[in-house]
Amino acid sequence: MSYGKLIEYADAAPEVRAVMDEIKAARGVPDVNNAWKAMARHPAVMRRFWERAKAVMQPGALDAKTKELIYVAVSIANGCHYCTASHTALATRKGATEAELAEMVEIVSLALEGNSYATFYGQEVDPALKG
Amino acid sequence: MSYGKLIEYADAAPEVRAVMDEIKAARGVPDVNNAWKAMARHPAVMRRFWERAKAVMQPGALDAKTKELIYVAVSIANGCHYCTASHTALATRKGATEAELAEMVEIVSLALEGNSYATFYGQEVDPALKG
Amino acid sequence: MSYGKLIEYADAAPEVRAVMDEIKAARGVPDVNNAWKAMARHPAVMRRFWERAKAVMQPGALDAKTKELIYVAVSIANGCHYCTASHTALATRKGATEAELAEMVEIVSLALEGNSYATFYGQEVDPALKG
Amino acid sequence: MSYGKLIEYADAAPEVRAVMDEIKAARGVPDVNNAWKAMARHPAVMRRFWERAKAVMQPGALDAKTKELIYVAVSIANGCHYCTASHTALATRKGATEAELAEMVEIVSLALEGNSYATFYGQEVDPALKG
Amino acid sequence: MSYGKLIEYADAAPEVRAVMDEIKAARGVPDVNNAWKAMARHPAVMRRFWERAKAVMQPGALDAKTKELIYVAVSIANGCHYCTASHTALATRKGATEAELAEMVEIVSLALEGNSYATFYGQEVDPALKG
Amino acid sequence: MSYGKLIEYADAAPEVRAVMDEIKAARGVPDVNNAWKAMARHPAVMRRFWERAKAVMQPGALDAKTKELIYVAVSIANGCHYCTASHTALATRKGATEAELAEMVEIVSLALEGNSYATFYGQEVDPALKG
């Protein structure tokens, strides 16, 4: 009910502990991040998000590192501090270098710049770009 | 002065034509997209944005395709239709497949979902994530 | 002039105290939240916002709890931590349960997911949806 | 590959037709909206989104109409024209009146106003609001 | 009820005509913009927004042109095409030049760039900036 | 690599020190803000942003104070706390008064209100506003 209240493993409901156990095993960490401890307030939301996150972020047509870079880029554009911090850490663990992170953040701000001009100058989508 | 007014090459000022010539050469296209024709209303803005776009989007630590995927992801998160359309086309030309695009858009919406939970549940950044 | 500076009741100008008195009476609380103490820097903005908030949030076609849930949902989508915290508290006081809050935050992230697909896939509005 | 390209039922892959059939049955409509025809380009994304939308939007602690009003409110705040149009139609079909829609949009803009002040005035979250 | 439906003066309710008359007189135009004709669906929302717009946009500590430039800048940052188009026209009528508009849009994209870096690099607010 | 890690002048690389020296000289301050110390992690990003900021924010068709007010307005609309705090301080140093700041923040929220209505009511751009 309170903002930012964390539920530790020792105090968590069984269905919450089950998700926490999976996260710890999947990431090889002794404890989950605060985001999961706060979300533990709503076990069903936590379970569904964890399942979706696992499915979407696993290597597929795009590799795991590229996926994390895209996740961070969207979080920056959307102004989410926590997600930027936690997924930059994940990106780094999956191999992203400082040079790659520096290029990624430049693309974020370039895209926002381009988006601004598109809104201001107001051109229609080119016929060649349409289906 | 008017919203969406396009300036064609034939009617463009010399400094605008110079940018248009560079874009056509760099991309191997017979004409530039509407975004550039609308932005031609402000030649200095157009020149500066083209220079920055060239510098940021050239292959570096990240390859050209990955860079375009990040650009598109940010444009989707930011709700920019025109930029999504034009940079999806660029991403495709640089080798992005339908499978990669499908994974990219899922990551965008997953990140927005994660961002929502971070704002709602309101946890502090974990000490381990801080400098 | 400074970021986050709070003006306490004892130090407030008479027109600020008048708004603070109304808020305390309307909500049955001994003191106003930090948001009002910070906004007290600009008494006219504070007065106008309080009048509008009172008018918009009073029960009408929608009941008070539903109104607060919509307010929180928008604040989450917009990434506002403070407003999420303070209006979740208000929603709870107006009867929102944990189950309702959990469903609300899922709708927020579902809508952002749907919005992302609409921007990426780029379809026109269906004629049947138009006036 | 193209922006806004629609895939009609007759031309759709079997797994796309299956989702379209479910949507038509669930909503009692002869054809699906353009959003689904565009998203049909990526059958797996379409299937996953439809499953999630069904689960999240079904009546639960919150009724179906309230859920749609929250969906529309988030779509407005996020600037998504298509989603605003299509989910306002769904809200209306689920019983939302013009008076309820008018109050909802006022809450959206009030919340954005409150969010702006929170960012500008910059107060910390009140201890009483924290966990 | 339908998206984008316009209510013309001839078909408008008396309380809507009253607002339309005021707008036409205040701006010296023979008819109101589409935004007002669409909003005429909800007369109370229209009346309240017009009163607030008049009060906020009148010359005060800031002159009318500067106020419109700020309005346009926010609308660009927020991705609102319609508002960008209509308020750029208003800004021009109040004296904004092409050079001023070009500088304004550069500031918008510079601010979004700076915002991105603040989210990514994640520094705390400097004590000297706090109240 | 860590979120929010600050690099002080004494520990900075030569190319970072060079930018810090320019900022200190240009602003007449003994030390740079935290934003620069955090961005010092990526010297090339820092150099490019400083050059662009200097060029865009110098007096031109718009004066320095008006430019800062626009920068702050965009940062508020975009929910960036740090940028709001730091550029409000810059605006004040360039002559912005409390009355001007109060009017600016009202315009931000009015524009967001107008943007919401434009998305909800969904009118097309008036032909007279088009190029």
Give the integer Cα–Cα distance in Å for F15 and B19.
Answer: 31
Stated length of chain A? 131
pLDDT single digits (tens) C59-112: 999 999 999 999 999 999 999 999 999 999 999 999 999 999 999 999 999 999
Q: Which chains have at least 3 CB atom pairs separated by less than 8 Å from chain A?
A: B, C, D, E, F
Asked if the Cβ–Cβ distance from D130 to A6 is below 8 Å, we say no
What pLDDT score was predicted for residue F130? 85
Residues of C in contact with B102 (CB under 8 A): none
| Amino acid at the residue D63 | D
Rounded to the nearest angstrom, the minimum Cα separation between A5 and chain C is 11
Give the integer Cα–Cα distance in Å for E47 and B46.
Answer: 40
What pLDDT score was predicted for residue F10? 97
Asked if the Cβ–Cβ distance from B130 to F6 is below 8 Å, we say no
Give the integer Cα–Cα distance in Å for C82 and D120.
Answer: 12
Q: Which chains have at least 3 CB atom pairs separated by less than 8 Å from chain E?
A: A, B, C, D, F
The question of ipTM being above 0.95 is answered as yes
**D11 contacts: CB under 8 Å, gap ≥ 6:** none
| Amino acid at the residue E1 | M
Average of pLDDT values for B38-47? 98
Give the integer Cα–Cα distance in Å for B11 and E15.
Answer: 48
Average of pLDDT values for F14-32? 96
Asked if the Cβ–Cβ distance from F129 to B6 is below 8 Å, we say no
Q: For residue F101, give both structure tokens.
A: 């700041």
What pLDDT score was predicted for residue E130? 85
What pLDDT score was predicted for residue D1? 45
Asked if the Cβ–Cβ distance from A42 to C105 is below 8 Å, we say yes
Give the integer Cα–Cα distance in Å for B6 and D26.
Answer: 45
Give the integer Cα–Cα distance in Å for F122 and C11.
Answer: 46
Size of interface A-C (CB pairs under 8 A): 23
Which CATH number does E60-119 carry? Answer: 1.20.1290.10
Domain(s) of CATH 1.20.1290.10: residues in chain A: 1-58, 61-120
Residues of chain C above pLDDT 90, percent: 95
pLDDT band at E2 (very low <50, low <70, confident <90, very high): low
Angle between helices F81-93 and F64-77 (to 10 degrees): 160
Domain(s) of CATH 1.20.1290.10: residues in chain B: 1-58, 59-122
Residue burial F68-81, b: 16+ Cβ < 10 Å; e: rest: bbbbbbbbbbbbbb
Question: Dihedrals φ, ψ of A122, to 5°?
Answer: 70, 25
Which CATH number does F55-122 carry? Answer: 1.20.1290.10
Residues of D in contact with C52 (CB under 8 A): 110, 113
Average pLDDT taken over every residue of chain F: 96
Pick the CATH number of C59-120 from 2.60.120.1310, 3.30.2040.10, 3.30.1330.60, 1.20.1290.10: 1.20.1290.10
Give the integer Cα–Cα distance in Å for A24 and A22.
Answer: 5
Give the integer Cα–Cα distance in Å for D131 and E121.
Answer: 27
pLDDT band at C2 (very low <50, low <70, confident <90, very high): low
Closest in B53, B104, B125 to A70, CB measured? B104
What pLDDT score was predicted for residue B2? 65
Output C15-24 pairs: Cβ under 8 A, ≥24 positions apart. Answer: C15/C43, C15/C47, C16/C40, C16/C43, C16/C46, C19/C43, C19/C46, C19/C47, C19/C50, C22/C50, C23/C50
Residues of chain C above pLDDT 70, percent: 98
Q: Which residue of C has its CA nearest to B72?
A: C120
* Cβ–Cβ under 8 Å, residues B89 and B58: no
What pLDDT score was predicted for residue A50? 98
Alpha helices (H) in chain D, listed in sequence order: 14-27, 34-39, 43-57, 64-77, 81-93, 98-121
**B45 contacts: CB under 8 Å, gap ≥ 6:** A117, B39, E102, E105, E106
Average pLDDT taken over every residue of chain E: 96
DSSP string, chain F: --BT----GGG--HHHHHHHHHHHHHHT-SS--HHHHHHTTSHHHHHHHHHHHHHHHSSSSS-HHHHHHHHHHHHHHTT-HHHHHHHHHHHHHTT--HHHHHHHHHHHHHHHHHHHHHHHH-PPPPGGGB-
The CATH fold assigned to D59-122 is AhpD-like (1.20.1290)
Which CATH number does B1-58 carry? Answer: 1.20.1290.10
Write out chain A in H/E/C secondary structure: CCECCCCCHHHCCHHHHHHHHHHHHHHCCCCCCHHHHHHCCCHHHHHHHHHHHHHHHCCCCCCHHHHHHHHHHHHHHCCCHHHHHHHHHHHHHCCCCHHHHHHHHHHHHHHHHHHHHHHHHCCCCCHHHEC
- Rg of the Cα atoms in chain B: 18
Give the helix/strand (H/E) hosting E8: none
**F57 contacts: CB under 8 Å, gap ≥ 6:** E107, E110, F64, F67, F68, F71
Give the integer Cα–Cα distance in Å for A62 and B88.
Answer: 16
Residues 46-65 on B with a CB inside 8 Å of A are 49, 52-53, 56-57, 60-62
Give the integer Cα–Cα distance in Å for C113 and D118.
Answer: 26
Size of interface A-E (CB pairs under 8 A): 56
What pLDDT score was predicted for residue E1? 46
Give the sign of the dihedral formed by CA A38, CA A44, CA A47, CA A53.
Answer: negative
Closest in B62, B100, B110 to A53, CB measured? B110
Give the integer Cα–Cα distance in Å for E111 and E56.
Answer: 23
Strand partners, A130: D3
pLDDT single digits (tens) D11-47: 999 999 999 999 999 999 999 999 999 999 999 999 9
Q: Please, is D9 exposed, middle or buried when counting C-beta atoms within 10 Å of its C-beta (0-12, 13-18, 19+)?
A: middle
| Amino acid at the residue A101 | L
| Amino acid at the residue D69 | L
Q: How distant, in Å, are the alpha carbons of B99, B100, B103 from that of A60?
A: 9, 8, 8
pLDDT single digits (tens) F69-108: 999 999 999 999 999 999 999 999 999 999 999 999 999 9
In the block, which residue shows the tokens 């924010």? F57
pTM: 0.98
DSSP helix, strand, coil percent of chain E (3-state; round to 5): 70, 0, 30
What pLDDT score was predicted for residue D130? 85
> Across the 131 residues of chain A, what is the mean pLDDT of every consecutive 10-residue run?
87 98 95 97 98 98 98 98 97 97 98 98 92 67
Residues of chain E above pLDDT 70, percent: 98
Asked if the Cβ–Cβ distance from E3 to D101 is below 8 Å, we say no
Strand partners, C130: E3
Q: How distant, in Å, are the alpha carbons of A20, A112, B123, C85 from that of C26?
A: 42, 42, 30, 19
Output E93-97 pairs: Cβ under 8 A, ≥24 positions apart. Answer: E94/E64, E94/E65, E94/E68, E95/E65, E96/E65, E96/E68, E96/E69, E97/F61
Write out E46-68 in H/E/C secondary structure: HHHHHHHHHHHHCCCCCCHHHHH
pLDDT single digits (tens) E33-61: 999 999 999 999 999 999 999 999 999 99
Average pLDDT taken over every residue of chain C: 96
What pLDDT score was predicted for residue D131? 67
Which CATH number does A61-120 carry? Answer: 1.20.1290.10
Angle between helices F64-77 and E64-77 (to 10 degrees): 40
Angle between helices C64-77 and C43-57 (to 10 degrees): 130
Q: For residue D36, give both structure tokens.
A: 């689904």
What pLDDT score was predicted for residue D2? 65
What pLDDT score was predicted for residue B130? 85
Give the integer Cα–Cα distance in Å for B14 and B1.
Answer: 19
* Cβ–Cβ under 8 Å, residues B2 and F130: yes
Q: Which residue of B has its CA nearest to D77?
A: B79
F24/A contact by beta carbon, under 8 A = no
